[in-house]
Every structure is written in structure tokens, then in C-alpha cells.
């Protein structure tokens, strides 16, 4: 029986992870749960799974059998075999680092962790013999395609993107997009932040950076294609011209289950099957970087390294928050990110503390830019 800690259990990925656990009651035991602001859902999860440890961002009355703890303490608990990082933003960084230093197997869904501190996480994982495995569908697909292959034979990685709801919109149409429209993703059911990042294609830029750190592939060998059907989740092209693709119905429980059971596969009748005759058409298109500047901003930040990726993530988080609150327009998301990055004085080889300082600076700066006070925050 594998023993799990699920950090971010009340979010979309966390809930779907627990749904997989429900399908295999004899295979998994939940040792720790950590939730955000949805206290009632976390309380219900604790009542159902009866973990030893729990963390709540809000005050929560816990049953006597469950101990209130921090996310870092949950991540390093000696009984935990797999730590699922399903939080969003910088909240996942310190627990991931703690788990890695404890030599744990970390199933990572939080994009920002590797984007902000990929070099540190990879180095610490190697030093402490920890394993960091992907939970996102795109990176899970690449991981599966690379099984049994040598990295020397890889020509390029190809991440697919649905394109979100606006990939055919003109710049003038994009400027009028509302939060309600942006939250209507055509194929995936995700949290609000990730859904907006999908609409701007910022998420695909973050995934390029993640793929660089997950698989040790240089940026010039990582591409993106628009694939509206979201059936092929990513591809690997090899030097001989062969392509491997991983395909499945767009349901996050499939890559989650793969990560939890790896290296074996298990039958789960609750997961959807891909009926190929019903799909009929699979299409691919090149990405229009001019239409979606967030993708290029992310790619540039990844290549520049240092504290730039942390600033990118923090500025995006604030810009998305302001967009969802109706305080800025859709097109202003990329403008705020770009200006925040332009004002940043990079630290080339940052410590975790310096990354978190850059994160805090970027949040203040992005808010100031939205209020037209950016020059006061120049570093």
C-alpha cells in the first residue's frame, strides 16, 4: 500500500487525485492533506480519508485522530511514500524542496515550482536521491513517450496546446474578452488561475520551462503546437524522424493515476476510454506568438534564468487576479507581466530566499503598474 500526502487537496488536481484514490482503496492510504480556503471541503476530505496530518489555510476544527501540521511537516513525514504537490503558485515551492531533501517521490502538478526554482530542485533531488515525476498531462505524455528511449536520440519535444477559447481571435477581439468568457475552457476542467493562463497561453510557456528541467532538454528543442481536440497530449520526435505521441481522453485522472502507480498500469473502470471512431479528426496548427505574447514572455524568462522566471510567475498571478476582479482587461495581462520583467534587476544564481524576495517584489510592482505607479518600484 502506497502512502500519500496530497498538498492542495481542495483544488482541482487535489480533488481528482482523491478520486483516483477512491477507486483503489486497497492500494493507497492518505497520510496527510493540505487545503486552501475551502475549509468545508477539506473537513469533508479529512472525515472521509482520516489522515494523520492536516494543514488548513483557515482555522479548522480537526477530529482528535488528525494533527494540525504545516505543509513542510506533512511532506517529510516518515510514513509518506509519495507527495502530491497540487497547490498553485509559490505555495508549492518550500514543501516541494522539503520533500526532495527528505528523499521523497514527488508527483508535481504545480507549474511554478520548477519554473521558479528548477535548477535548485533538480540539484537537490540528485543530491538526496529523490524522484520528481510529472503530474500534468503534457509532461506525463512526454515521460511516457521517453520510456525505453535514450536522450541522445531525441530531436525535439512537442507540447500540445488546445489554444484555449480565443486562439482565432484578433487583437481587437482579445482586448474585449471578459473573465466569464476566459473561464470557459473548451476541453479541460481546471481551476480559475490555470484556465486564464491557458487562455493567454502563458501556461504553455511555463510548461516549456518545466519540460526543460524535467527532461534536461534545451529550449531550442522544445516546441508547441495548437491541437484543439486535446487528444494528443504531447509528442517526442526522434533523430530518425519517428514521432511518439501519447493519446487519451482529456481527463486529468489518467496522468494522475499513471504517476501514482508508475511503473505499472492499472485498470480503473471510472476513467473514460478514447473512442477513436468518434474523434474522426486530429488537427495541428503553428502558434501565433504575436497574438499570444505571454507565451513568448515565458519562453524568454526561462532562457534568461536567474530570478526572471519567479518574477514572471508572480506578475502573472497578480495580473490574472486583477483581470478576474474586473480591474484590468485581458490584453493588459501580458502588458503588466512585460513591464514588471523590464523593471527587474536579475539575480543570476539565486537562493530560495532570493527567489521568494523577487516574487514579493514582482507582486508589489505588478500591482503598482496596474495603478500606474511602476517607476516607484524600479530596482
pLDDT of residue 356: 97
Please check the confidence at residue 187 and state whether its pLDDT lies above 80: no
Give pLDDT tens digits for 365-375: 999 999 874 44
Output DSSP code: residue 53.
E
Output DSSP code: residue 61.
P
Predicted confidence band of residue 189 (pLDDT cuts 50, 70, 90): low
Which whole-number Å values give the CA distances from 343 to 271, 311, 363, 365, in the listed order?
47, 10, 12, 9
Please check the confidence at residue 188 and state whether its pLDDT lies above 70: no
pLDDT of residue 57: 79
- Name the burial class of residue 246, with classes exposed (0-12), middle (13-18) and buried (19+) by CB atoms within 10 angstroms of its CB: buried
pLDDT of residue 343: 96
pLDDT of residue 8: 96
Q: Summarize the confidence of residues 339-343 as an average pLDDT.
A: 97
pLDDT of residue 376: 45
Of residues 172 and 285, the one with the higher pLDDT is 285
What region, left, alpha or beta, does residue 65 occupy, with left being phi > 0 and alpha being psi -120 to 50 degrees? alpha
Please check the confidence at residue 63 and state whether its pLDDT lies above 80: no
Task: Supply the pTM of this predicted model.
Answer: 0.93
Average pLDDT of every residue of the chain: 92
Please state, as a whole number, how many other Cβ atoms lie within 10 Å of the Cβ of residue 257: 24
pLDDT of residue 375: 42
Please check the confidence at residue 59 and state whether its pLDDT lies above 80: no
Domains and CATH numbers, the chain: 2-134 (3.40.50.720), 137-250+272-304 (no CATH), 305-379 (1.10.1740.10)
pLDDT of residue 198: 87
pLDDT of residue 378: 44
- The residues with which 235 forms a beta bridge, in sequence order, are 158, 245
Please check the confidence at residue 100 and state whether its pLDDT lies above 90: yes
pLDDT of residue 133: 97
Measured in degrees and rounded to the nearest 5, phi and psi for residue 178 equal -100, 165
Amino acid at each position: 500500500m502506497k502512502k500519500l500526502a496530497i498538498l492542495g487537496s481542495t483544488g482541482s488536481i487535489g480533488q481528482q487525485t482523491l478520486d483516483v484514490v477512491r477507486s483503489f482503496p486497497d492500494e493507497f492510504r492518505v497520510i496527510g492533506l493540505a487545503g486552501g480556503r475551502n475549509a468545508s471541503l477539506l473537513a469533508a476530505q479529512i472525515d472521509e480519508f482520516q489522515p494523520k496530518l492536516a494543514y488548513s489555510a483557515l482555522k479548522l476544527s480537526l477530529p482528535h485522530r488528525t494533527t494540525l501540521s504545516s505543509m513542510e511537516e506533512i511532506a517529510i513525514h516518515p510514513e509518506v511514500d509519495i507527495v502530491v504537490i497540487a497547490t498553485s503558485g509559490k505555495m508549492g515551492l518550500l514543501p516541494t524542496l522539503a520533500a526532495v531533501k527528505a528523499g521523497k517521490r514527488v508527483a508535481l502538478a504545480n507549474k511554478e515550482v520548477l519554473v521558479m526554482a528548477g535548477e535548485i530542485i533538480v540539484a537537490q533531488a540528485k543530491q538526496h536521491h529523490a524522484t520528481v515525476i510529472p503530474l500534468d498531462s503534457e509532461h506525463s505524455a512526454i515521460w511516457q513517450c521517453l520510456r525505453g528511449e535514450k536522450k541522445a536520440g531525441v530531436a525535439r519535444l512537442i507540447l500540445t496546446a488546445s489554444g484555449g477559447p480565443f486562439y482565432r481571435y484578433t487583437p481587437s477581439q482579445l482586448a474585449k474578452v471578459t473573465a466569464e468568457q476566459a473561464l470557459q475552457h473548451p476541453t479541460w476542467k481546471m481551476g480559475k488561475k490555470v484556465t486564464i493562463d491557458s487562455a493567454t497561453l502563458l501556461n504553455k510557456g511555463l510548461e516549456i520551462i518545466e519540460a526543460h528541467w524535467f527532461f534536461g532538454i534545451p529550449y531550442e528543442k522544445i516546441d508547441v503546437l495548437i491541437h484543439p481536440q486535446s487528444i494528443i497530449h504531447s509528442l517526442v520526435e526522434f533523430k530518425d524522424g519517428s514521432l511518439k505521441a501519447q493519446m487519451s481522453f482529456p481527463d486529468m485522472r489518467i496522468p494522475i493515476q499513471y504517476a501514482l502507480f508508475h511503473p505499472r498500469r492499472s485498470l480503473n473502470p471510472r476513467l473514460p476510454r478514447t473512442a477513436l471512431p468518434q474523434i474522426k479528426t486530429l488537427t495541428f496548427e503553428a502558434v501565433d506568438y504575436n497574438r499570444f505574447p505571454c507565451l513568448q514572455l515565458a519562453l524568454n524568462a526561462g532562457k534568461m534564468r536567474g530570478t526572471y522566471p519567479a518574477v514572471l510567475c508572480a506578475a502573472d498571478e497578480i495580473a490574472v487576479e486583477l483581470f478576474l476582479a474586473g480591474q484590468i482587461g485581458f490584453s493588459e495581462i501580458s502588458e503588466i507581466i512585460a513591464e514588471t520583467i523590464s523593471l527587474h534587476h536579475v539575480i543570476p544564481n539565486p537562493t530560495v530566499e532570493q527567489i521568494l524576495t523577487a516574487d514579493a517584489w514582482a507582486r508589489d510592482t505588478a500591482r503598482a503598474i496596474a495603478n500606474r505607479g511602476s517607476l516607484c518600484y524600479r530596482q
